[in-house]
Structure 1
Amino acid sequence: MTDAENNIEAEDSLPEDITTASTDSGAEDAASRRIAALEEELATAKQDILYAHAETQNVRRRLEKELADARAYASTAFAREILSVADNLERAIAVISADLRADDRFKGLVVGLDATVKDMESVLRKNGIERFVSVGEPLDPNKHQAMIEIPHAEAAPGTIVQEMQPGYMIKDRLLRPALVGVAKTAE
């Protein structure tokens, strides 16, 4: 008799419940291992989906912020250029003497220039561009550019005592720094 025939006879001689139990036990172990592997794959897939979802949300938020910033600050370059026009209008108004203001021949010109300056200020404000006050404030290198130091007996050193060119903010960002004169100790 061959070994295969001996094994078959040996299995036939064993009680049926022992043969079935060993076969069922092996199948259950294999099934348990397979279930554990599938559960691990499922957990990994769920984690990957959560990471992908979080990344998608982050990208969406970043794009929304960039779009909002683009809308808010799109006019920055134009605004910087138009500020020189506003400065020149203010300089024109500043040099008009009281005599010329009183002269009827120039009254229309003076009124027109005043109205143009007010309109310019209004347009800038509507677009989120605000002039900020510098005189009397301490020097802030984030907003001011010191051009000269001026001996001053009354103002504390580092205090702005003269503004040569006004500074402007667009929303919450600096559009143009103010060019200022800063007090220093009088000698």
Structure 2
Amino acid sequence: MIEDNEKLTPEEIAAAEQPVETPEADPLAEKDAEIAELKDRLLRAVAESENVRRRLEREKADAVAYAVTGFARDLLGVADNLRRALEAAAKDGTVQGPLLSGVEITEKELLKVFEKHGIARIESVGQKLDPNRHQAMLEVAQDGAEAGTIVAELQTGYVLKDRLLRPAMVSVAKAG
């Protein structure tokens, strides 16, 4: 033992005050660190599996909701042709009676099926041009119309629930 404290340096005094580690204390600290690491890995793995489950549920819901997208796009041409036939018959006046009413009923039935499956027309005329829903084909001078307002619809656009199936092709009023 050292009897004279004045001969020791401050580092030696601090080292002497440190508790001496026993062989039993070191393995416990290692085991505690290993337990903490394993617990962290377990929590991360559980969180990851929960995220994967949620993502798969979301993807499944989207697949169910939008499974008819390709088929719906194909039917849009049919709806367009029925509308063109009705407009041509109205202009011409030669097609009357049962044929005309049959085409009208067919178009109404098709639109009812569209509505049943979440397919809706995009209302365009009188609206501001929305590049996410409309495709401007022409820019025309229009008295009384504000610039950027849709003045005519060249082809109807459709959405499936909240997704765009086909943009509406429109004519837009020009500035000045």
Structure 2-normalised TM-score? 0.84
Structure 1-normalised TM-score? 0.79
Query: Quick one: which of 134, 139, 154 aligns to 1:164?
Result: 154
2:135 is aligned to 145
1:118 is aligned to 108
Give the share of equivalent positions with the same residue, in percent. 49
Q: How far off is 1:100 after superposition? A: 4.1
1:53 is aligned to 46
Residues 81-109 of structure 1: per-residue CA shift (max 9 Å, x gap): 110000000110111137446xxxx3111
1:181 is aligned to 171
1:84 is aligned to 77
CA distance in 2, matches of 1:171, 1:89: 23
Q: How far off is 1:185 after superposition? A: 3.4
Aligned 8 A contact 1:153 1:185 in 2: no
CA distance in 2, matches of 1:144, 1:97: 27
Aligned residue pairs total 157
Q: How far off is 1:57 after superposition? A: 0.8
Q: What are structure 2's unaligned runs of at least 5 residues? A: 1-18
Look at both structures and tell me which one has the larger radius of gyration over its CA atoms: 1
CA distance in 2, matches of 1:126, 1:29: 77
1:36 is aligned to 29
Query: Quick one: which of 64, 75, 98 aligns to 2:68?
Result: 75
Residues 29-52 of structure 1: per-residue CA shift (max 9 Å, x gap): 222211111111111100000000
Q: What are structure 1's unaligned runs of at least 5 residues? A: 1-24
Residues 119-178 of structure 1: per-residue CA shift (max 9 Å, x gap): 100111111111010000111111000000111111001100000101111111111000
Aligned 8 A contact 1:165 1:179 in 2: yes
CA distance in 1, matches of 2:24, 2:142: 90
